[in-house]
Amino acid sequence: MDGPDISVDLCGVLMENPVMLASGVLGETGPSLLEALEGGAGAVVTKSIGPSPREGNPNPTVVTLGDSLLNAMGLPNPGMEAYAEELEWLRQGSEAPVLASVFGTSPDEYAEVAARLAPLVDGIELNLSCPHAKGLGAEMGGDPAMLEQVVRAVVDVTDLPVLAKLTPNTGDIGALASAAERGGASGLVAVNTLRGMAVDVEMAAPALANTYGGLSGDALRPVGVRCVHEIAGMTSLPVVGVGGISNHIHALEYIMAGATAVQVGTAIRTDGPRILGRIATDLRDWLADHDHSSLADVRGILVRGGHR
C-alpha cells in the first residue's frame, strides 16, 4: 500500500500493519480468523486453547456497559486436537500471521498445547491472565515465579516467538514483565481484562452467572496504556498493547506509550472485524497527515529514553 510504512516486525512475526485481533474475540473457528485477516488485521490471535474441550461458564457470559464490556466466557475451546483442524483449514486460505493463544493448569500443560499447535502458527501467546476462570490463567499469571516457569516450559518446546500476556490485576505489572523476560519470552502483551462485577439491581442478582468477569473496552484503556508505558520503560522486549482500542487515536496512545503493535477485541462487536483494517488505514492516514514516513517516528516517544 501507499503512504507511510506501518509494517511491523513483532519479534520475528512480520505483519503488514500493527493491528491484531485480540485473543478470545472471534477466533474459535477457522472461518472467523480468516474473516479477521480478510478484514485487514495485520495478524490474528486464536481463542485461548487448552488440552481438551471446555464448554466455559453458563450464560449470561457477557454484560455490555456502554462502550465497555464484562465477560465471563470461562475459556471455552474445543481443545487442541479439534482446534488444530481449524488452523489447518485456515492455513489453506491465508498466509497472514497467526498466533496461537495457549492456556493450561500447569507449565507442562501449557507446553503440551504450545507444542501441538506450534507447527500451525507463527507465534505463541501465553494467556497468563484470564481473570474469571478458576485455577487457570490469572492465578498462575499473577505470581511472577509461576509465570516465569510457564514461559520457560513453553520456550523449551518451541522455536517460535513466545509472547506472555499479562494481567492488569496486580500491584506490580513490572514484576510480571521481568519474570516473563527471565523466562525467555520474546515479547509481552498487555493487558488482559480487569476483574469486575456488575449487579442487576432490579433482578437483585449479579449480571453474570459467574458473578465476576473481565472488564474490557473503553473503561480498560487508561489502565492498559499505563501498563504498557510502565513495562515499555523497563524491559527491552517488544510490547503489544491491548485494551479499549476502537480507533486509530486509541492505537496511537498505546504506540506512543511504547507498543510495537496493538490488539482489538471488544470494539469488534459493532461492525465486525473489518474495524481492524479501518484502524490500520486511519493510522496510515494520520501518519501521512502529520508528515511521518513511518510508524517508527512516533513509537515509544513517551517512554523514558525516547524512541524505541
Partner 1 sequence: MRSRPVSVTGVRSETPTQCTIVLDWEPEAQPGQFVMVWIPGVDEVPMGFSSIGPSAAITVQRMGDATEALCALDPGDRVGVRGPLGKGFELLEGKRCLLVGGGNGVAPLVPLAEALVAKGCRVYTAVGARTREELLFIDRLAGIAGPAPEVATDDGSEGHHGFVSNLALRLMDEFRPDVVYTCGPELMMRKVADACWERSIPFQASLERYMKCGIGLCDACACGRYLVCRDGPVLTGEHLRGVPDFGSFKRGPSGVKVPFAAPDGGGSIGIGLGSED
What residues are labeled active site?
130
Q: Which of 265, 273, 277, 300 binds ligand FMN (CB under 6 A)?
A: 265
| Residue 22 touches which of ligand FMN, a second copy, partner 1, none (Cβ within 5-8 Å per kind) | ligand FMN
Nearest C-alpha neighbor of 161 from the set 210, 125, 132, 137: 125
Hey, CA dihedral for 15, 18, 22, 23, is it positive or negative? positive
Residue 93: how many CB atoms within 10 A of its CB?
13
Instruction: Indicate left, alpha or beta for 220 from its phi (over 0: left) and psi (-120 to 50: alpha).
Output: alpha
| Residue 303 touches which of partner 1, ligand FMN, a second copy, none (Cβ within 5-8 Å per kind) | none
Residue 266: how many CB atoms within 10 A of its CB?
26
Select 55 or 285, whichever has its Cβ closest to partner 1. 55
Hey, CA dihedral for 63, 64, 70, 74, is it positive or negative? positive
Residue 25 interacts with ligand FMN (CB under 6 A)?
yes
Binding residues for a second copy, rule: CB under 8 A, are 65-66, 68, 70, 138, 142, 167, 169-172, 194-199, 201, 204-206, 211-212, 215, 218-223, 225-226, 229, 249, 252-253, 256-257, 298, 301-302
Select 192 or 260, whichever has its Cβ closest to ligand FMN. 192
Between helix 173-183 and helix 144-155 the angle, nearest 10°, is 30
Cα distance between residue 41 and residue 49, in whole Å: 20
Cα distance between residue 66 and residue 87, in whole Å: 34
For 245, the grid coordinates are: 482500542
| Residue 95 touches which of partner 1, a second copy, ligand FMN, none (Cβ within 5-8 Å per kind) | none
Select 144 or 214, whichever has its Cβ closest to ligand FMN. 214
| Residue 174 touches which of a second copy, partner 1, ligand FMN, none (Cβ within 5-8 Å per kind) | none
Cα distance between residue 185 and residue 233, in whole Å: 17
Q: Say how many residues touch partner 1, by CB under 8 A.
A: 43
Hey, CA dihedral for 284, 289, 295, 301, is it positive or negative? negative
Which residues of this chain interact with ligand FMN, rule CB under 6 A?
Answer: 22-25, 47-48, 69, 71, 73, 75, 101, 127, 130, 165, 192-193, 216-217, 220, 242-245, 264-267
Which residues of this chain interact with partner 1, rule CB under 8 A?
Answer: 24-29, 31-32, 34-35, 47, 53-56, 58-65, 69, 71, 73, 76-79, 82-83, 200, 202-203, 205, 207, 209, 265-266, 268-269, 272
